[in-house]
Amino acid sequence: MIRRPFAIVRGVPDSFAHAVTDSEPDPPLSVELAREQHGSYVAALEAGGYALVHVEPDESHPDCVFVEDTAVVLGEHVVVTRPGHESRRGEVDAVAARMPGSARIHRVQPPATIDGGDVLIAGTRVFVGLSRRTNRQGAQAIAAIAEPQGMTVTPIEVRSVLHLKSGLSAVDDRTVLWHPRTCGRGELTGLRVVEIPGDDPEAANVVRLADGRMLVGEHHPHTAEIVESLGFEVVEVDVSEIARADGGLTCLSIRAR
Ligand code: CIR
């Protein structure tokens, strides 16, 4: 029996050094440092009130630590994704197997592709990024599960980042942090949109802890200030090595309240 709120996390495999990246990391990715940072992240989730569910790392999947991309929890339903990058498709089964027994599992069928990093949930609003990884059929697959539960699904074009959540995340049910390189602001209708300045869209990627505090990347001091000014207590964690593999804070867990 898995109690809510829970967070599913997956360890860093030795093969992480060969993770998919937009540009060749120089120096090469450090597995040791990524593991250390991942450990701090997981500890922060637990201290923030999430019951942890651990999935064993899989050496044949260098990106398996980015567990967010493999499943989307929508109420009692779970959409097991079909990741957009072929090398990542085999990550999903081990994660699906760790979902609560009561969950209603749905599997995305070809030609749909979805990375969980493209699905932002804010209250009853669900935004699905159309990106290099998630296509329209993927957005429809999410809508087919979310809409009957009273949620509104809005597909949204992703600009120059990997995933929608690379530069957009929710701090509460109606407030999002947004970086302009991520998507159009006008498409986030009905939400309070807080712009995050600077060159790095990942500065807008934060995680809500179960106790209401906010997890913010240590290398984004402006974000911490902005989130504090919104009235939240901030917990900082260093995920710089994870960022070098094109990941942010949200991508390291699947969280359900
Ligand atoms: C990838 O390219 O798939 C991984 N190296 C990074 C995935 C990051 N996931 C996320 O932001 N949800």
Query: Nearest-5° angle of CA 48, CA 204, CA 24?
Result: 105
Find out whether the beta carbon of 246 lies less than 6 Å from any atom of ligand 1. yes
Mean pLDDT along residues 178-192? 95
Structure tokens at 52: 């942890």
pLDDT band of residue 241 (cuts 50, 70, 90) is very high
Q: What is the mean pLDDT of residues 213-228?
A: 96
Instruction: Answer yes or no: is the C-beta of 207 below 6 A from any ligand 1 atom.
Output: no
DSSP E strands, 108-180: 119-122, 125-130, 152-157, 168-172, 175-178
Which atom of ligand 1 is found nearest the CA of 247? 8
- Nearest CA to 159 out of 126, 121, 186 is that of 186
| 246 CA from centroid of ligand 1 (Å) | 6
% residues pLDDT > 90 (the chain): 96
Tens digits of residue pLDDT in 73-107: 999 999 999 999 999 999 999 999 999 999 999 99
Q: How far is CA 67 from CA 63, 90, 231, in A?
A: 8, 12, 29
d(CA 51, CA 8): 9
Q: Of the listed 38, 61, 163, 220, which one is catalytic?
A: 163
Poorest-confidence range of 54-58, 101-105, 135-139, 227-231? 101-105
Task: For 26-35, write each residue's pLDDT tens digit.
Answer: 999 999 999 9
pLDDT over 80 at 2, yes or no: no
Question: Does pLDDT of 60 surpass 90?
Answer: yes
Atom of ligand 1 nearest to the CA of 117: 12
Question: Which pLDDT value is given to residue 4?
Answer: 86
241 lines ligand 1 (CB under 6 A): no
Residue 217 scores a pLDDT above 90: yes
Ligand 1 pocket test target in 61, 69, 82, 95 with most atoms within 8 Å of CB? 69
Handedness of CA 169, 174, 180, 183 (dihedral sign): positive
What is the 66 CA–ligand 1 centroid distance (Å)? 6
Q: Is 167 in the pocket of ligand 1 (CB under 6 A)?
A: no
Q: Is the dihedral of CA 169, 128, 187, 122 positive or negative?
A: negative
**Residue 3: band (very low, low, confident or very high) from pLDDT cuts 50, 70, 90:** confident
Confidence of residue 1 (pLDDT cuts 50, 70, 90): low
pLDDT at 257: 86
Q: Is 163 a residue of the active site?
A: yes
Whole-angstrom distance, CA of residue 12 vs CA of residue 38: 8
Mean of per-residue pLDDT scores for the chain: 97
183 is known as an active-site residue: no
